[in-house]
Amino acid sequence: MIEVKNIYKSFDGANVLKDISNRFEQGKTNLIIGRSGSGKTVLLKSILGLYDIDQGEIWYDNREFVKMHHKERKKLRREIGMVFQGGALFDSLSVEANIRFPLDMFTHQSPVEKKKRVEFCLEHVNIEKSAFKLFPSEISGGMQKRVAIARAIALNPKYLFCDEPNSGLDPETATIIDQLIQHLTREFEMTTIINTHDMNSVIEIGESVLFIAKGEVAWTGSNKEILETRNKKLNDFIFANKLYAQLREEKN
Amino acid sequence: MKFFFHVGQYFTLLKKVFGRPEKLRLYVRQLFHEIDTLGVNSVWIVIIISIFIGGIMTIQFAYSMSNPIYPTTLVGLGTRDTLILEFSSTMLALIMAGKIGSNITSEIGTMRVTEQIDSLEIMGVNSASYLILPKIVAVVFIFPFLFIISVFFGLLGGLVTGPIAGVISIPDYIEGIQWLFYPYYITFSLIKSVVFGFLVASVPAYFGYYVKGGSLEVGKASTTAVVNTNILILFFDLILTRLLLT
Ligand SMILES: Nc1ncnc2c1ncn2[C@@H]1O[C@H](COP(=O)(O)OP(=O)(O)O)[C@@H](O)[C@H]1O
Ligand SMILES: [Mg+2]
């Protein structure tokens, strides 16, 4: 479980996050949704400590992150996996070496154990053995995302963060990635937070949804409730896509 | 104002760079990789440039000293001292700032804008140290060798070109390059190489590490990095010459 309480964050006087509070549950895919520029990435990176927040509390289960010392933060980070928007694979390393990197850095496993773990992770995201030796530039965008997910789970994290994991992918591949993340979240009992502006993802895996608009919490709920809502801002966001407007009309 | 901001941020970064490494073994692996890509790959270009410059200098010295009141040994001496004191240390560093420096900025800058650096930080890796320290050590290590290689091939260039151009005989040239030789000049230039090596790795690394935006900004940062490194090299050349030579 991750809980944020009254988070504020500004850049050079511009308030990007205003009084954000929310609970992200364990074993669930928690979505942060909103328009481009609404502050999703800043919120995610603030929770991760890549940005220092101006005010507020961030709880990783019973540990408060803001007050932590550098060393404690580093220790906590071993429990965190992150999938970046562009994948952020190390392009000087092969697929296999990308997964091995965190293992080399932070474990004392033998080469055999590491090899097993690398295979385990890559198999879990359906990467075939023939692709293990390829470099990130040699594989498709969808595969890069899957490798990024495999790397994120390499150290068996308790918390998984994904920033627009299916941006730039075709709808079919995007759905596969979404389902993969949900599947892994359940299997490994992780607390997963996903940024997205994709309504398909919301319907597909939005077990818990936090909607932010201009840096403020505008709505919270689940994908079961979202199509029924009368929230003006949320409706504008959702029904920008005609298909969902139609869907609601049919329902009513 | 901006200048002081950059100086402050540069030293903050250096402090991070020289922090405690997570796993020494991985740093050593990285170090060998950098010596290979940054150093060994530069050897050919250094050899080629040095042969040409050595040859050209010999011909020019021979022409400007064609008056019989100058001893012919001055040609070899002039070539040697110019190579040692300025070309193989300072000029070579300027050239290497263009090659190695822009390479470092674009590599680290690309890692910044594609969030690979964030990715390292999330894992709990000291990204500044992991990415930059091996580069600094590699370049500082390789620069003195490049200096020696450059002096050697520069002298060789003169030895081949001078006699072919018919401006000096082989024995005169060889006598010249041994005439009035101060070993301290070598020490002086080796010290310069080390300082320049540090600048050529750390300044471009700084500009790459703090890049914001996309690939366009990375390109701009490379140019800025090379220009600033060159200015700093010349500035330190002046200071070191004043301190150590006069
Ligand atoms: N490092 C930064 N410095 C200054 N402003 C930033 C920075 N990162 C993001 N912003 C601003 O914060 C706002 C939210 O951005 P972001 O969180 O990236 O949006 P998104 O919801 O698309 O992920 C934007 O207006 C952006 O310009
Ligand atoms: Mg974003």
A136-182 pLDDT, tens digit each: 999 999 999 999 999 999 999 999 999 999 888 888 889 999 999 99
Quick check: is A142 in a domain?
no
For residue B153, pLDDT over 80 is answered with: yes
Q: Give tens-digit pLDDT for B51-92.
A: 999 999 999 999 988 888 888 889 999 999 999 999 999 999
Closest partner residue to A84 (CB to CB) among B22, B119, B124 is B119
Q: How many residues are given for chain A?
A: 252
For residue A252, pLDDT over 70 is answered with: no
* Mean pLDDT to the nearest integer, A40-69: 95
Quick check: is A96 in a domain?
no
CA A17–ligand 2 middle distance (angstroms): 13
CB-CB under 8 Å, B124 with A82: no
* Mean pLDDT to the nearest integer, B93-109: 97
* Mean pLDDT to the nearest integer, B131-158: 97
Q: Under a CB-based contact definition with an 8 Å cutoff, are residues A81 and A153 in contact?
A: yes
**What is the pLDDT at residue B69?**
87
Say what the ipTM of the complex is: 0.88
Quick check: is A188 in a domain?
no
Closest partner residue to A77 (CB to CB) among B110, B111, B123 is B123
Give the count of Cβ contacts less than 8 A between chain A and B.
47
Q: How far apart are CA B204 and CA B220, in angstroms?
A: 12
Q: How far apart are CA A202 and CA B223, in angstroms?
A: 44
Q: Under a CB-based contact definition with an 8 Å cutoff, are residues A103 and A155 in contact?
A: yes
For residue A231, pLDDT over 90 is answered with: no
Q: How far apart are CA A234 and CA B8, in angstroms?
A: 45
Partners of residue B115 in chain A, C-beta under 8 Å: 84-86, 88
Q: How many CB atoms lie within 10 A of CB A134?
A: 15
Sign of CA dihedral A98, A102, A108, A114: negative
Range of the domain at A210: 1-79+196-252
Partners of residue B124 in chain A, C-beta under 8 Å: 73-75, 77-78, 106
| Three-state SS at A187 | helix
| Three-state SS at B53 | helix
Quick check: is A2 in a domain?
yes
**What is the pLDDT at residue A244?**
73
Cβ–ligand 1 distance for A36 under 6 Å, the answer yes
Quick check: is A8 in a domain?
yes
Q: Give tens-digit pLDDT for B206-222.
A: 999 999 999 999 999 99
If one counts the domains in chain A, the total is 1
Q: Under a CB-based contact definition with an 8 Å cutoff, are residues B166 and B60 in contact?
A: no
**H or E stretch at B170:** helix B170-178
Check which CATH number belongs to the domain holding A71 and give it. Answer: 3.40.50.300
**What is the pLDDT at residue B20?**
81
**H or E stretch at A191:** strand A191-196
Using the atom order of ligand 1, give the atom closest to the CA of residue A195.
Answer: 23
The first and second tokens of residue A100, run together, are: 């091995």
* Mean pLDDT over the full length of chain A: 92
B22/A contact by beta carbon, under 8 A: yes
CB-CB under 8 Å, A45 with B118: yes
Burial class (CB within 10 angstroms; exposed 0-12, middle 13-18, buried 19+) of B200: buried
Which B residues, 97 through 156, put their C-beta within 8 Å of a C-beta on chain A?
A: 110-111, 114-116, 118-119, 121-125
Which of A60, A75, A90 is best to mutate for the B interface (most B CBs within 10 A)? A90
Collect all residues with Cβ–Cβ distance below 8 Å to B6 and sequence separation of at least 6. B206
Interstrand relation of A55-60 and A63-64 (parallel, antiparallel or unpaired): antiparallel
* Mean pLDDT to the nearest integer, A203-230: 92
* Mean pLDDT to the nearest integer, A178-190: 95
Burial A229-242 (b: 16+ CB within 10 A, else e): eeeebbbebbbeee
For residue A243, pLDDT over 80 is answered with: no
* Mean pLDDT to the nearest integer, B212-235: 96
The first and second tokens of residue A72, run together, are: 């404690």
CA A33–ligand 1 middle distance (angstroms): 14
Partners of residue B23 in chain A, C-beta under 8 Å: 104-105
Question: Which 8-state DSSP code applies to residue A109?
Answer: -
Closest partner residue to B26 (CB to CB) among A82, A84, A105 is A105
For residue B192, pLDDT over 70 is answered with: yes
Residue of B nearest to A46 (CA): B122
Quick check: is A146 in a domain?
no
The first and second tokens of residue A233, run together, are: 């801002």
For residue A20, pLDDT over 80 is answered with: yes
pTM score of the predicted model: 0.90
Which of A50, A135, A158, A163 is best to mutate for the B interface (most B CBs within 10 A)? A50
Partners of residue B26 in chain A, C-beta under 8 Å: 104-105
The first and second tokens of residue A155, run together, are: 């150290």
Tell me the residue type at A141.
G
Cβ–ligand 1 distance for A39 under 6 Å, the answer yes
Which A residues, 34 through 63, put their C-beta within 8 Å of a C-beta on chain B?
A: 45, 48, 50
Place of tokens 């310069």: B192
Cα A144 to chain center, whole Å?
Answer: 15
Question: Helices in A107-231 by DSSP H: which ranges?
Answer: 111-124, 141-152, 171-187, 199-205, 223-226
Collect all residues with Cβ–Cβ distance below 8 Å to B121 and sequence separation of at least 6. A50, B127
Which residue owns the Cα nearest ligand 1 atom 3?
A11
Nearest to residue A150, comparing CAs of A119, A189, A106? A119
* Mean pLDDT to the nearest integer, B127-132: 96
